[in-house]
Structure 1
């Protein structure tokens, strides 16, 4: 009816010899066919040359679209409907839900390593409208359009009717939904393995798609790409289901076919999942990302497999760091966000945006800092307050804003505070910086005591004299370096030599060394919290004690 007489229609048959026999049988009956539709799988066109076959595909897809448009008055522009704009309260609810979903689906693999997911959210107006429809729950339970999709999305979606405002209620609701899905999956696997008389290793039982009333579609995946693919498929499933309900009755694919495809080794190879890195599936936020140390930290975390968000108030320098990292590791590995660590609401809003982009936060690196050189006698109280605001209050603000995220995720986490050698070995005329860093160091120790009960470790790194390089300089040394060079009668290279030669190992401390120390703590290689790790080449007066 829709595509004309030169097509053959076959029931779903798994790829291989049985399908080949079905196709040749159809061809022998009608040698004029130029396309085959395999139900719940797709359309195949063929001809004597590739171009003709391609053009036939376009023609048949156009015929299908015209048929749908005619019978539904369905505008082709509808799938491109705009994203809905949400209020800050709704954005906060979306972020909380993403964090909770991500945590509820995280699990430990056979080696005891935590497997985390990334989240992708789709909120185009037609998807949100579908989430509020009377058929929303049926859409979620009807299954995939084609068995191929099951390796990306599982067979069914989870429907969430509302998002509770209270965190405890939200976590409880999501856990109930996920538990119901996983129980059904276990039974699906058990019953079909038994019915088919096969032995298979059960895949993880967690859902990949969640349709949330009034908000949109949430997809999860072990990588950002997997989450995006699942979201693409989910959108198509919803739109196709809405059309099919208006055109006629949608017939779900039998679970038996779904099982065959999901547990077919050739299908699993399509995913081509790489060996997990130290920080696979984790999201790291590095404040002060526009400077040398921030760059070094971000680089080492990306190398270890994390998705990294760098932040700063200097958008120009921040973009420079982002572009260097993106060129080296790929644009999906790093994001930038501008916010002010001294403004708690700004921090909360930024963390919401990060959670909507990735699903949550696993690693927090409070690194933003400024310095001011002046003796106490000459120290302007306003300058003192400014340094305290950034270095101490800024550290407090980002730690405080991250705690509810860690609690919703329930997967632990790491906070690695970039402290300073000056905490243990302060210098004259550096009172504002030394005092602010000492305060941040102390609040971090208290955070270590308070957050251990939710599995979050807090550790401090105390670097010294990290100058950066020609690409990304240290903003701190850009500020204080000229005075230090003048007071010691040194040029820039001489100043570097001075600080290198004053440490026991006679080594220059690089930004990547600080990054390596962050990676050590962030990768959970030891059960350590509340520790201070010097990265200074060995300064006896700065030994922690």
Structure 2
């Protein structure tokens, strides 16, 4: 397989006309967003930028030099001005007097808030001294794959001198912190003609006198590294090709089958969400002869292994003899061996004050012939972990192609992974939401109730796959929900739940997109009304198809996947008051809804030993946002009740015991309750949300 080509070379996107209207802080933001928009320049959340700006001191009114630097957390591609910390530069230099040496450098982080300018609440990053002490106005710290490839070779210093001919300096590996800031200051001062510095095994620092100069210097250095590697990488890469990739459909099918099984095995203490990628870059690596030895070396750049763990898990799979059952049979032993190896790494490297060992399960899973899976506590983190491992692949490709790739020494890797400052950051993270890590499939997802349910589940931390027969409305729902919950957490697939093949495709998509399924909300529906003698077989069959067969197909597919995962699960059938109370002129609808309720009870019986709960929510007269009530059903119910169509909502409201309208959000609350652990001891139950209807009281 040939080297995957970039779609286009890295080129400057700087717009002089736009930049001319900006202040120095705005230019820093502009530069940062441009740099962060290209993953070849820096990875998501990685790298940082700074500018030293003269500003009026709010206390004295005098001009003072202020360091604007990306604050803790955040991403350069999407950062806003409030994402930057601001600190008095003279106070940062004064901190040098407080420094007690490398053994005590972590305490310096506690001094940074004392240098805050203008009460800025944005916490300063551990990288602040790295920017403060370089005596240049504008500084970029990036993690470009091409430069890290040079930095992660056994002879990175010699290669730096050869490729950049004195334009860049070089510093040996050192953990980011105060001491590294002093090293950067010393080298950049001693060699004032440098345009930047490569940090061994880590990344790149570059600078300029203006924001534009810094930006274009950064791009020029990265482009130079890319071009040199391209011209000098020995072929074939990764030792050459050992396996052929399976066809795309077979890769996706294998991943979709494996992901729920794997997810169940690694989610015993915390639900995990998955991501699948099979780009050319990934396939070139997983199909290569050097896959196993290179994977065992681990990653180099700290940003890489903090997201991916130091080593991936290589699935024992031969694409020339695709035997899924053999892979499944060997997973437990292979995962246990990985966990034991990780625990041994912890025991070898732990310090007296190290935090307790963390989850020992792998994050990255490499499958010859298929691609890469990544699992994490949320979908975005799983996706980003995969992106980081692609960065690591690119680094190994370049480093091994021109020299010898060197992973970060094990103790150094441990000291960053279990850094007390990193642990403190983890401890400050908010408590997970009640449905964090759960995967929900919502049928009838484009309707009013479906969208309200999806929004409620998303707000509680779940990922949601919506399916509906109406593709246009489904895309509108997706767009609306993604604005609230983020595009990572919402997916859609058009499907007809009366089709066995399409229902299977829905759950395959759930597995492929998120890793499996935990919650099924069966909500697809229709409504019909006609006297018995006028009810056609077509109307009868359509009700049975959608409200009985469709619910059967969806619950069966969900049941099978939940059984594979061995994590339990919850199904909620959105039925109707009419499933309990007969209504004149709606025999087809009422009968199908009654069957739906009874199906839920049957599934509850079989699901209980597996921890799969099944419950029913019975709405009544949910008119707002309803596609059913926008159609013939409204006219039919108006005729049946001898009222005008415009009076239907008031009629049903006034008919209820509480004299209140039932809204989609009311149904969503009930669905959420039954889906969540709050109803963990409820199965086979029926919850009426109808504002009170004595005839529908359950018996």
Q: TM-score, normalised by structure 2?
A: 0.71
Given the superposition, is the C-alpha separation of residues 188 and 284 from structure 1 closer, same or farther in structure 2, using an over 3 Å criterion? Answer: same
Computed over aligned residues only, the root mean square deviation of the Cα atoms, in angstroms, reads 2.4
**Maintained 8 Å contact 2:467/2:493:** yes
Given the superposition, is the C-alpha separation of residues 48 and 270 from structure 1 closer, same or farther in structure 2, using an over 3 Å criterion? Answer: farther
| 1:144 aligns with one of 288, 299, 304 | 299
| 2:218 aligns with one of 57, 66, 70 | 57
Deviations 1:170-207 (A, max 9, x none): 444333332222222222222211xx333323222221
Partner Cα separation in structure 2 for residue 477 and residue 106 of structure 1: 43
Q: Is the aligned partner of 1:351 residue 2:504?
A: no
Q: Is the aligned partner of 1:222 residue 2:377?
A: yes
**Maintained 8 Å contact 2:569/2:612:** yes
Higher relative contact order (CA 8 A, sep 6+): 1
Q: How many equivalent pairs are there?
A: 526
* Counterpart secondary structure, 1:525: helix
**Maintained 8 Å contact 1:466/1:474:** no
Q: Is the aligned partner of 1:284 residue 2:440?
A: yes
Deviations 1:466-517 (A, max 9, x none): 112xxx3332563211122234443345221221222222221111111001
Q: After superposing the two structures, state which structure 1 stretch, 262-271 or 132-141, moved more.
A: 262-271
What displacement does 1:52 show?
Answer: 2.5
What displacement does 1:251 show?
Answer: 1.6
**Counterpart for residue 207 of structure 2:** 46
Deviations 1:370-414 (A, max 9, x none): 222223322211221111011100000001111221122221111
What displacement does 1:14 show?
Answer: 1.1
Partner Cα separation in structure 2 for residue 43 and residue 107 of structure 1: 40
**Counterpart for residue 688 of structure 2:** 534
| 2:580 aligns with one of 416, 424, 436 | 424
* Counterpart secondary structure, 1:202: coil
Partner Cα separation in structure 1 for residue 577 and residue 194 of structure 2: 78
**Counterpart for residue 509 of structure 1:** 662
* Counterpart secondary structure, 1:46: strand
Q: Is the aligned partner of 1:302 residue 2:458?
A: yes
* Counterpart secondary structure, 2:533: coil
Partner Cα separation in structure 2 for residue 477 and residue 20 of structure 1: 65
Given the superposition, is the C-alpha separation of residues 328 and 130 from structure 1 closer, same or farther in structure 2, using an over 3 Å criterion? Answer: closer
**Counterpart for residue 178 of structure 1:** 335
**Counterpart for residue 236 of structure 1:** 391
* Counterpart secondary structure, 1:508: coil
List runs of 5+ in structure 2 lacking aligned partners. Answer: 1-161, 237-244
Please show how residues 2-21 of structure 1 align to structure 2 within 5 Å. Answer: 2-21=163-182
What displacement does 1:150 show?
Answer: 2.2
| 2:413 aligns with one of 258, 269, 276 | 258
Q: Is the aligned partner of 1:484 residue 2:640?
A: no
Given the superposition, is the C-alpha separation of residues 447 and 169 from structure 1 closer, same or farther in structure 2, using an over 3 Å criterion? Answer: farther
Deviations 1:147-170 (A, max 9, x none): 232221110000012189787654
* Counterpart secondary structure, 1:107: coil
Given the superposition, is the C-alpha separation of residues 18 and 290 from structure 1 closer, same or farther in structure 2, using an over 3 Å criterion? Answer: closer
| 1:519 aligns with one of 672, 675, 684 | 672
Please show how residues 29-44 of structure 1 align to structure 2 within 5 Å. Answer: 29-44=190-205
Q: Is the aligned partner of 1:71 residue 2:232?
A: yes
Q: Is the aligned partner of 1:93 residue 2:254?
A: yes
**Maintained 8 Å contact 1:171/1:408:** no
**Counterpart for residue 286 of structure 2:** 131
**Counterpart for residue 528 of structure 2:** 372
Given the superposition, is the C-alpha separation of residues 166 and 530 from structure 1 closer, same or farther in structure 2, using an over 3 Å criterion? Answer: farther
**Maintained 8 Å contact 2:304/2:392:** no
What displacement does 1:7 show?
Answer: 2.3
Partner Cα separation in structure 2 for residue 444 and residue 456 of structure 1: 11
**Maintained 8 Å contact 1:292/1:475:** no
Deviations 1:428-481 (A, max 9, x none): 22111111111121121111111112211111111111112xxx3332563211
* Counterpart secondary structure, 1:390: helix
**Counterpart for residue 103 of structure 1:** 264
Given the superposition, is the C-alpha separation of residues 86 and 293 from structure 1 closer, same or farther in structure 2, using an over 3 Å criterion? Answer: farther
Partner Cα separation in structure 2 for residue 162 and residue 528 of structure 1: 41
| 1:248 aligns with one of 403, 408, 411 | 403
**Maintained 8 Å contact 2:234/2:401:** no
Partner Cα separation in structure 1 for residue 219 and residue 258 of structure 2: 40
Given the superposition, is the C-alpha separation of residues 510 and 288 from structure 1 closer, same or farther in structure 2, using an over 3 Å criterion? Answer: same
Given the superposition, is the C-alpha separation of residues 325 and 16 from structure 1 closer, same or farther in structure 2, using an over 3 Å criterion? Answer: closer
Partner Cα separation in structure 2 for residue 377 and residue 492 of structure 1: 24
What displacement does 1:542 show?
Answer: 1.1
**Maintained 8 Å contact 2:529/2:637:** no
What displacement does 1:288 show?
Answer: 1.0
**Counterpart for residue 331 of structure 1:** 487
Q: After superposing the two structures, state which structure 1 stretch, 478-487 or 223-232, moved more.
A: 478-487
Q: Which has the larger radius of gyration?
A: 2
**Counterpart for residue 437 of structure 1:** 593
* Counterpart secondary structure, 1:475: coil
What displacement does 1:30 show?
Answer: 3.5
What displacement does 1:39 show?
Answer: 0.7
Q: Is the aligned partner of 1:413 residue 2:569?
A: yes
What displacement does 1:94 show?
Answer: 1.2
What displacement does 1:90 show?
Answer: 4.1
Deviations 1:69-106 (A, max 9, x none): 1112789xxxxxxxx89465543321111212222221
| 1:204 aligns with one of 349, 359, 373 | 359
Partner Cα separation in structure 2 for residue 426 and residue 207 of structure 1: 54
**Maintained 8 Å contact 1:91/1:352:** no
**Maintained 8 Å contact 2:272/2:378:** yes
Partner Cα separation in structure 2 for residue 90 and residue 29 of structure 1: 54
**Counterpart for residue 648 of structure 2:** 495
* Counterpart secondary structure, 2:678: coil
**Maintained 8 Å contact 1:68/1:74:** no
**Maintained 8 Å contact 1:279/1:523:** yes
